[in-house]
């Protein structure tokens, strides 16, 4: 992956209590990506959950759309210091995708078309805390924002909400994802300003 897309130019300070320390409120929806935006045709899109033994659950786009859908409204916070309040999405809870799965996993690797990865504790994508979303603000999720589908983990910095997702690989121990291997914090709590190693 080479180069970062220019992300944002419009943001302002805010006294809103929803704003984590060190953040600015964004006007609009900034775009920041590493490398080119992959083209992912819906007729070939699949999402796969791989357990620690290599077993897999897989959904096509049509099968994914047939799953129970939720409409979370959440605040999002980017490590590059912008935040956006009250964003509205539509997608499938990760709990639905993991339902009935008996696993010894403690962590998960979110994997994307284009090769991007993001590691998260399994607890942070369970119990109503994360979704695979395919709509934003009532419209299909644009490719520049991660469409056709992206992870949404609103309580962590937004790099953990990986774009262009294709699966979740469950793990019995933590492994670093793309940005974590380049110096970003392993966890990424915006309220503790966990941006980089050592924060």
Q: Which domains does the chain have, with CATH numbers?
A: 42-185 (3.90.420.10)
| Residue 23: per-residue pLDDT | 93
CA dihedral 128, 73, 81, 78 (to 10 degrees): 50
Ranges of the chain with pLDDT below 70: 1-13, 32-35
| Residue 15: per-residue pLDDT | 79
Report whether 89 contacts 76 (CB < 8 A).
no
| Residue 11: per-residue pLDDT | 59
- Rg from Cα positions in the chain: 16
| Residue 155: per-residue pLDDT | 98
Q: Report the alpha-carbon distance of residue 85 to residue 73 in Å, rounded.
A: 9
| Residue 51: per-residue pLDDT | 96
Residue closest to 76 by CA, chosen among 126, 130, 120, 38? 130
| Residue 6: per-residue pLDDT | 43
| Residue 26: per-residue pLDDT | 86
Sequence-distant (6+) residues with CB within 8 A of 2 are 34, 35
| Residue 29: per-residue pLDDT | 79
Going 28 to 33 to 35 to 41, the CA torsion angle's sign is negative
Report whether 37 contacts 144 (CB < 8 A).
yes
Element (H, E) at 75: strand 73-77
| Residue 94: per-residue pLDDT | 98
């Amino acid at each position: 992956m080479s180069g970062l897309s220019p992300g944002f130019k419009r943001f302002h300070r805010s006294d809103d209590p929803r704003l984590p320390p060190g953040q600015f409120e964004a006007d609009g929806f900034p775009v920041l990506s590493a490398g080119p935006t992959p083209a992912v045709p819906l007729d070939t899109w699949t999402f796969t959950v791989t357990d620690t033994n290599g077993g897999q659950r897989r959904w096509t786009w049509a099968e994914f759309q047939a799953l129970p859908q939720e409409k979370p409204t959440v605040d999002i916070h980017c490590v590059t210091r912008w935040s956006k309040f009250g964003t509205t999405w539509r997608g499938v809870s990760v709990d639905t995708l993991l339902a009935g799965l008996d696993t010894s996993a403690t962590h998960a690797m979110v994997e994307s078309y284009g090769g991007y990865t993001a590691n998260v504790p399994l607890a942070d994508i369970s119990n109503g805390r994360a979704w695979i979303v395919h709509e934003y603000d009532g419209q299909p999720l644009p490719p520049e924002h991660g469409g056709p589908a992206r992870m949404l983990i609103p309580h962590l910095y937004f790099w953990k909400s990986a774009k262009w997702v294709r699966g979740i690989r469950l793990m019995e121990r933590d492994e670093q994802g793309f940005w974590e291997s380049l110096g970003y914090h392993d966890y990424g709590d915006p309220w503790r300003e966990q941006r980089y190693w050592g924060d």
